[in-house]
Amino acid sequence: MGARGILRTALAAALVASAAAAGSPSPFEVGDAREPCAVRTPLRSPFFGDLHVHTSFSQDASTQGTRNGPREAYRFARGEKLGIQPYDEQGRPQRSMQLERPLDFAAVTDHAELIGEVEICRTPGLKGHRSFTCWIFREFPRAAYFIMNTKSSMHDPTRFGFCGEGGRRCLEAARVPWQEIQAAAEGAYDRTSACRFTSFVGYEWTGSLDTNNLHRNVIFRNQRVPELPTSFYEASSAEALWKALRESCLARGDGCDLILIPHNSNLSNGLMFQTVGPEGQPITAEEASTRAELERLVEVMQHKGDSECRLSPDTTDELCGFEKLSYANFGQKYLPWIAKEAKPRSFVREALGVGLAEEQRLGVNPFKYGLIASTDSHLGTPGAVDERDHPGHGGAGAPAARELPKGLPDDFEFNPGGLAVIWAEENSRDALFEAMRRREVYGTSGPRHVVRFFGGWDLPGDLCWQEEFAATGYASAVPMGGDLPAPTADTPSFAVSALRDPGTSQRPGVALQRIQIVKGWLENGASREQVYEVAGDPENGASVDLASCTPQGPGSDSLCSVWRDPDFDASQRAFYYARVVENPSCRWSTLVCNAKGVDCGDPGSVPKELAVCCEPGRAKTIQERSWTSPIWYAPASR
């Protein structure tokens, strides 16, 4: 046995021993050679990060003035100060950013599409650099943004002529940034026993049929990755992507492993969660199993809106109005006169319900998602979620100016994005990846809430007052992302606890208002849903002073509840997830408008570029929140 095998065996044995001693869940599988982490918690700790980050390697980021690459992005995530656009004539950034609290983990997920084209267009001497397309890219970047992305979003897309026969020239050029992405992740990964930071190699597959968003982030477990990232050019459907990744990674037998994370279903125009294949045929059990195996998580919140639940006349959940966009796909953003409401199956809660029906039909749930959030930053700034310093994230937003913005730094309807939180034994790739695979994760809209959620049949009613909350949860229930075991009581019980974000000494967090449990179930073949208030007080009278943005009224530092489903029917499939909601606070746009001295009481004094600050119907406040991964129930097989 080599040194790597000895290290792996020793570490696994140590984890088994510590877990057994604590009565905690089984340890994760170790497949990576590294120093064991000095801090290891068998009952698991929450780690905060961002799994959706773009840098100058992405075409849309580069055409909006982003100069930070993957290495700079990881340095920012670890707490270093970073300059961002606009840049002056000497190339000096006119703005800078720095996280007050570094992240625990991050993944740079640059677009696979056009990554080789961007490399050619930016590198003198490469064949194709002097092509007309590359000239447009360099001289008129905003035009290039639309031209190049439109071409890469067509059915059966073809590459630009300068890529050569079969696109080989651009594929070859893509090797340089892809290798740099890997090197940057390796350089940022703390393999010492301190385990301060974990980086994942990743990329984004940017399927956008007719501008309908089908995007997936691909996160690899370790440094063993495909020779090149599979893009929409090589795989123009999710099914083709799954097949390609099986061949280029999973079937290799060398430890290459991955998870796919769909995002922005709110912009998919109802296509993200379809239950038919490319030819319109109903998916089979095998196809559902493939999706369930690979797509373990879904992004419920990010820079380009919230994807949790539909806001419609039929819903009784008023919190579904959170950070919603007014269009159903990217094309409608730029052609607002054709904008329509998002079609059914554009939101995660809908998908969870459809998954129950598919499981009843096929025996497999293709939409068994754990919930996370991330930023989708296009500045190379993972974790930049503070409402108080939001610079805009780019992507489909406002292009970078050559001077500091006079108006809002981003389109009003966008937001700073969210964070992914992972419950794991330690901050290492193996531990975090295993947690993602078992879906013991949750998402926040930015705050660093600490949320635990367990479901079982005999959780004690006074668990919230016991010191062994987590130990009891693991011993007698399942955590978020799990399946309820066979019933041992008439009604399941759920324990949920939440701690407010403490913030920093300069910027304290906002108090919690309430915890809700969202239930979805299958009744006579149709999906139903209901939201239950389980802790806190939705009518606590909390508010915010819009002039000073000071929160007012009562709230909680922590909330906890053990809740039993009063409407449980053992014959009905169901899912449950918890939603933690803060008191109101000022939205980023309000903070910017205030800082620029906007007085809506004197319309004549408001500059044109800030008129949006005073438009009726524009949200002034926000109630930040967190969403846990669901816990599922299925009736026993007959």
pLDDT of residue 311: 82
Cβ atoms within 10 Å, residue 177: 23
CB 266 within 8 A of CB 325: yes
pLDDT of residue 8: 33
Cβ atoms within 10 Å, residue 307: 31
Q: How far is CA 440 from the centre of its chain?
A: 14
Phi, psi of 471 (to 5 degrees): -60, -40
Residue position matching structure tokens 């999706």: 291
Mean pLDDT per 10-residue interval, the chain, length 638 residues = 35 37 65 89 97 97 95 98 92 94 98 97 96 96 90 81 95 98 98 97 93 95 97 94 97 96 96 89 94 98 96 84 93 89 94 97 97 97 94 74 80 96 98 98 98 97 95 97 95 98 90 98 94 97 95 96 97 97 97 94 90 94 98 85
Q: Which two tokens stand for residue 316?
A: 């009784």
Tell me how far apart the alpha carbons of residues 367 and 365 are, in angstroms, rounded to a whole number. Answer: 6
pLDDT of residue 11: 35
β-bridge partners, 508: 503
Strands 558-564 and 493-499: antiparallel
Tell me how far apart the alpha carbons of residues 263 and 204 are, in angstroms, rounded to a whole number. Answer: 10
Tell me how far apart the alpha carbons of residues 163 and 134 are, in angstroms, rounded to a whole number. Answer: 11
Residue position matching structure tokens 């919690």: 512
pLDDT of residue 186: 97
β-bridge partners, 424: 45
Question: Residue 28 gets which letter from DSSP?
Answer: P
Predicted TM-score of the model (pTM) = 0.94
| Contact partners, residue 16, CB within 8 Å, separation at least 6 | 26, 27
> Length of the chain, please?
638
Q: How far is CA 6 from CA 3, 53, 434, in A?
A: 5, 35, 21
Q: How far is CA 272 from CA 95, 302, 361, 396, in A?
A: 37, 16, 20, 19
Q: What is the DSSP string of 73-124?
A: HHHHHTT--EEEEEE-TTS-EEEEE--SS--SEEEE--BSTTHHHHHHHHST
Q: What is the DSSP string of 349-411?
A: HHHHHHHHHHHHHHS--TT--EEEE---BSSS-TT---GGG-----TTSPPPPSS--SS-SS-
Question: Residue 343 gets which letter from DSSP?
Answer: P
Maximum Cα–Cα distance across the chain: 78
Q: Which two tokens stand for residue 373?
A: 């959030």
pLDDT of residue 296: 98
Rg (the chain; Cα; Å): 24
pLDDT of residue 280: 84
**Is residue 318 classed exposed, middle or buried when 0-12, 13-18 and 19+ CB atoms within 10 A define those classes?**
exposed
CB 561 within 8 A of CB 515: yes
Tell me how far apart the alpha carbons of residues 61 and 137 are, in angstroms, rounded to a whole number. Answer: 12
- Write down the domain spans for the chain: 31-297+354-444, 469-584+623-633
CB 588 within 8 A of CB 387: yes
> Is 469-584+623-633 a domain of CATH 3.40.50?
no
